[in-house]
Every structure is written in structure tokens, then in C-alpha cells.
A and B are shown apart, each in its own frame.
Chain A
């Protein structure tokens, strides 16, 4: 199955009904699939902390939610993750494009990449790193784990996972 379709199918199978997104080139395909999915309400956010607020509200309103964003967002959302998602103990799957890893063409992305896992570790956020597409076989289990423990959980997906950036 196409990886974008597989990710969205796992979301649907785990009863995720609202997904907010902030775009990244690597995530374009999965965002298109989310948008086309009849079982998911897709709500693009202007900034990632806004999206996490929407997800928190949807969860309290009775719908499972998830956010799709770039790893630069970890820098943007530390306060929201800590004082909203973690403080009130809410589940939040975060599908994150891991920019700045191998095959990255933009040097500035590396500056945030080197801090990404350290920040997630400091925040005590369970973190999984998809490097090969076969790694996504665990996505279903990771989603179940997230809703079991009521925590934000990060799924980092790097350029190798997404098949690179095309011709460079």
C-alpha cells in the first residue's frame, strides 16, 4: 500500500476523526490523503500551537485527534505541549517530518534537526523515528499506545522514509 494511504488508514482504524496540519514538502502527500479522507475532518492550522489547541478541544469534545507538522514546530510548541497537552494529560499523536537529516538540501534545517530529539527527550515525549518505510508497520501500535497513556507522542519521519527530495 502507498505509504500516505497506509498512514491515513492507520489513523482511521484508530478512530482519529480530526487532523490538523501545518505543511511541509515531505508531508504533502499524506496531507492530500487526509484532506480526501471522508472519515477525517481536516483543519489546516496557521501555527502549530494553534493546532495543538484545536486537538485538545476536539479530544475533550469526544473526538480523537492528531497533528501533522515539521520538526521546526517542536521549537514553536514547547509551552503548549507542556502546559496544555501534558499538564491536562491528553493524548496527541504527532506525525513529524524530520527535516535536516540525511539527504537534506537546506542547511538551516539541520540547525533544528540537531535539537529535535534532545528537546523531545527533555520534554519526556515518547519518540519513534521512521527511517525506512517498513518502520511504519509500527504506526498502528504507536497510535494505540498514545491513546492508552494519554500523552503526546512524536513520530519522526526522515527524508529516507519519504524517498528523498527528488533531484538535487
Chain B
């Protein structure tokens, strides 16, 4: 399974959840599969999906899922200790780990070599860290949403991309409808 297969399977489970989605192909794939006001698409700023998601989770009560990639987490490694030390039990970080920088042509990342992101997350102090295979991702996500623990999911999968259109929505529209969705979810 590649990332787009995982996202396709996740859609029924995360469609009504607040989702912050990583820059590039992950956002484009989610946008194509299931565009929702509850989705915040990152159009730039590689690495900050987890930081933005943590900020949303700390500011309000509803569950927040950050969809991130191994390459992006490596870009913003400092995020893991911050997450570990600022526990938000309504926060789920899903790292889709395909061992490559998918949006830029599948160049290999260190996470696909010696570096274990799950081990790093644990070493940083994250208490609930689950590494799973792509086939199990939906079940793990369903359990994480049903639970009340901040959860880091590292989902291992194959690298590879499908053809998807770029997102042409205005960023302020994406932001505004996301904020409206958050307000509605909390009332």
C-alpha cells in the first residue's frame, strides 16, 4: 500500500474529524478524496503539520489529527519533544512513513534507513506511540479516536504517488472554513 491507499481507507474514519494535513501530495490527495471544511490543507511550510495540529488541540477540546510524513517530521524534529511535554489528549499525530520524500520525487529519507521515528518519539517522551503497517492503519486510527490519550502513530508503507491536481482554493478560504468548522464542533 502507498500513502494514497491509506488515506482512501482512512476517509470514512477521519471525514468528520478536525484534520491538519501535510504539504504537497498528502493534502492534494486528501482534498481530491474527501474535501471537507474540517480539513486544513497546508499549501506551504514543510514540517509544521504536527506543530499546527498541536496548537489547534491545545486551544480547544475536539480531537485533532495531524497527518504528517516521515520527511516532514525529520524536517521539524524539535516538534516531538514539544508534543511529549505539552500533552494534549485530543491530539493524534499520524506519521505516514514511506521512507521517502514523496512530493519531490521519492528521494529516500533516513526514516527508511536506520532511523526509527517510533523509537525517537518514545525517546522524546511521547507515551503512546504505535508503529503499524499500512494494512492496520485504519483500525489503529479508529482506536486512537475512540481513546482519550495523545497518540503518535507511525504507519509504515511503500513509497509511491498517484496523479492528483494541485489545490487551487484560496488559503484564506481554507483557513476561514476550518475555523468555522472548529467553532461549530465546539458548540
Contacts and interface: CB of A to CB of B under 8 A. Distances in A.
A110 to B, nearest CB: 27
B120 interface: no
A62 interface: yes
Contacts of A65: 55
A84 B44 contact: yes
Interface stretch (B56-64, B99-107, B134-142): B56-64
B55 A50 contact: no
Q: How large is the interface on A (under 10, 10 to 19, 20 to 34, 35 or more residues)?
A: 20 to 34
B133 to A, nearest CB: 29
A65 B50 CA distance: 17
Contact of A62 (B48, B51, B183): B183
B115 to A, nearest CB: 18
Contacts, number: 115
The prevalent SS among residues of B at the interface is: helix
A58 to B, nearest CB: 4
Contacts of A45: 78, 82
Interface of A: 17-18, 41, 43-47, 49-63, 65, 79-80, 82-84, 87-90
Interface residues of B, number: 35
A56 B45 CA distance: 12
A87 to B, nearest CB: 5
A54 B78 contact: no
B59 A53 contact: no
Nearest to A61: B59
23 contacts: A17-B59, A41-B58, A43-B86, A46-B82, A49-B45, A50-B51, A50-B78, A53-B50, A54-B52, A54-B54, A56-B51, A57-B55, A57-B58, A58-B58, A59-B55, A60-B55, A61-B58, A83-B43, A83-B45, A84-B52, A87-B44, A88-B175, A89-B172
